[in-house]
Amino acid sequence: MKDIFKKKHKTIKVKYLPKEWTVGYRPPQSPVKKLHGTGRKKMEEEKKTAPVSQPGQVQIEIDEQTAQGAYANLAMITHNETEFVFDFIYVQPQAPKAKVRSRIITSPLHAKRFLKALEDNLKKYEAHFGQLPEIKEVEKPIAFA
């Protein structure tokens, strides 16, 4: 990790992520040489060699805790006129309580995009690994605690 900003006893640390974790990454046209400098000079040289994203592309970073993910075996979806709320829940067998592991709030348009992306990925999954069994009925949990 590298210290990139210091302000009144606080240091913000940034970890450089593997290139395959970034969306829209395009390698530079010429090979990049590793520069061996120290301190400020090294940081300036690293900035010069860092890949530049193309217009319209977003580089996405993920911190270590988020990259670990959280297992969920139940999802609840609610909505109103302006947003959809996805609650991802882990239900332990034989336990009377469950815990929401993650909540995603998004717009109806993004929810529809998510649905299309999920359908596309399920088709690709089934083409590669075989058909998943059909689900007869979706169980609905009784209440939130």
Determine, yes or no, domain membership for 63: no
54-70 average pLDDT score: 88
Please give the pLDDT value at position 144: 55
Determine, yes or no, domain membership for 145: no
CB 86 within 8 A of CB 75: yes
The domain of 97 spans: 70-129
Greatest mean pLDDT among 19-23, 26-30, 94-98, 104-108 lies in 104-108
Number of structural domains, the chain? 2
pLDDT in tens, 12-34: 444 454 544 444 444 444 444 44
CB 42 within 8 A of CB 35: yes
Structure token pair of residue 23: 């969306």
Determine, yes or no, domain membership for 8: yes
Determine, yes or no, domain membership for 54: no
Q: Does the pLDDT value for residue 44 go beyond 70?
A: no
Q: What angle do CA 138, 107, 89 make, to 5 degrees?
A: 40
The verdict on pTM exceeding 0.75 is: no
Determine, yes or no, domain membership for 96: yes
Determine, yes or no, domain membership for 108: yes
Determine, yes or no, domain membership for 138: no
Determine, yes or no, domain membership for 65: no
